[in-house]
Amino acid sequence: MEDLFSHSLKENQQLKPLAEQLRPRDLDQVVGQKTLLKDQGLFKRITQGLSLPSLILWGPPGCGKTTLARILAQKSGYEFFSLSAVLAGVKDLREIVEKAREALKYHQKKSVLFIDEIHRFNKAQQDALLPHVEDGTLTLIGATTENPSFEVINPLLSRSRVIVLEALSKEDLAQVLARALKKIDKSLSQEAKQALLEEANGDARRLLNTLEVAANLSADTKEINLQTLQEAAQSRSLNYDKDGEDHYNLISAFIKSMRASQADATVYYLARMYEAGEDPRFLARRMIIFASEDIGLADKHALLIAVAAAQAFDHVGIAEGWINLSHAAIYLAQAPKSNASYQAYQKAKEALQEMGPLPVPLHLRNAPTQLMKELNYGKGYAYAHSNPEGSAKMECLPEKLIGKKFLKEKLKK
């Protein structure tokens, strides 16, 4: 007979998202990653007693990174702590370190710290984590969709094994789908099934989330048809393809809004990209380029503001770094505009392409040897600091370019 406690546990389980209800609890239940999960593969050997090393799990969304981390920690008998790099700070890390020390001291139990989206931890946060990985207080398992060579500091990388995970195949997703349909007691029309496997694009979590919405939309029918599935796919939270058309359309709109001095549109497109998961460092880089290309000599503070915002983001992190990016974007939008420095370089490049690399005038050449001095290297050079005005009245362009103007305006002081 089912008691009240077990009934409550069952009820709580049913309240969880479908993806969480179906999360594998054992390696034998995990689909995909066949090389890693084979009998003599690393993960199998870890669950059979091999010491659990620090790991960086690098792979696309929904391929099983979180699931594998939980299973490896549980099968190794480790305490499991989890942080989201998007939300956590150094304070959260310190609290987990203290709990891990207590687990080791009082229960002789090691601890795993799983950090989801570890690439969103800034350098200062990763530096704070490093000593606790070094001294064995924590075994790190980081999950990332980005190349860890660029996003994880070298000292952490050198103390971890990087494991590359693959997107799930359609056959893998079909297994996940079959389990899910059995769980929710539903069926899919054949065309809906094919559309869902295609739409999921190798992401099991995406597949399950879409299916769950579709099941709720068709609560009164046993079979989910294609129309319902399409409605479910559209009603899911914003999907932003960093390599797709939206990426290029939005960054174009963002830059053109800044150039047009439209601050409201600028901050709108910034929010669109940031909230959809665009790499904030990409946005910061675009603003640094914009500050020189489109403002340049018109506002000497613009580049400083853009660079400071990029540096501030690295200190603050993803949770509140948008404040710094918004500050910079609005400043750049409202600043006076000039592309004179950009155009000057382009004209200089055109001259180079047209005339080739012309010889440097003799008076500008360095003369470290006696022979060079005899050849008149450096002869006639005017030292600017000898002039009270701090400038030198001499021609510096090659002879064939004398009188050529690349810059159409002077620096505004």
80-109 in b/e burial notation, b at 16+ Cβ within 10 A? ebbbbbeebbeeebeebbeebeebbeeeee
Contacts of 406 (CB under 8 A, 6+ apart): 344, 345, 347, 348, 351
* pLDDT value for 9: 44
Closest CA to 111 of 82, 148, 142, 154: 82
Question: What DSSP character marks residue 318?
Answer: T
pTM: 0.57
> For the chain, how far is it from start to end, CA to CA, in angstroms?
85
The pLDDT assigned to 87 comes to 77
* Structure token pair of residue 143: 């999950």
pLDDT at 237: 44
Q: What tens digit of pLDDT does each residue of 236-254 get?
A: 544 455 555 577 889 999 9
The strand pair at 79-84 and 55-58 is best described as unpaired
257-334: CATH architecture:
Up-down Bundle (1.20)
Could you tell me if 281 and 310 are in contact, meaning their C-beta atoms sit under 8 angstroms apart? yes
Residue 293: how many CB atoms within 10 A of its CB? 18
pLDDT at 296: 94
pLDDT, residue 8, reads 46
Cβ contacts of 34 within 8 Å, gap of 6 or more: none
- Domain positions in the chain: 33-164, 170-235, 257-334, 348-401
Q: How far is CA 225 from CA 185, 194, 230, in A?
A: 15, 11, 9
Classify 241 as helix, strand or coil: coil
Low-confidence stretches of the chain (pLDDT beneath 70): 1-15, 235-245, 409-413
Q: Can you give the pLDDT at residue 384? A: 85
Q: Which CATH number fits domain 170-235: 3.30.450.20, 3.30.700.30, 1.10.8.60, 1.10.150.130?
A: 1.10.8.60
The DSSP code sequence of 371-405 is HHHHTTTTTTPPPGGGSTTS---S--S-GGGTT--
Comparing CA positions, the residue from 249, 217, 250 lying closest to residue 233 is 217
Distance (Å) of CA 406 to CA 217, 343, 346:
64, 8, 8
Q: Where do we find the tokens 């008691």?
A: 3
Instruction: For residue range 90-117, list pLDDT tens digits in order.
Output: 889 999 999 999 999 999 999 999 999 8
Q: Check: CATH 3.30.70.120 for 33-164?
A: no
Question: Do 267 and 289 touch, CB atoms closer than 8 A?
Answer: no
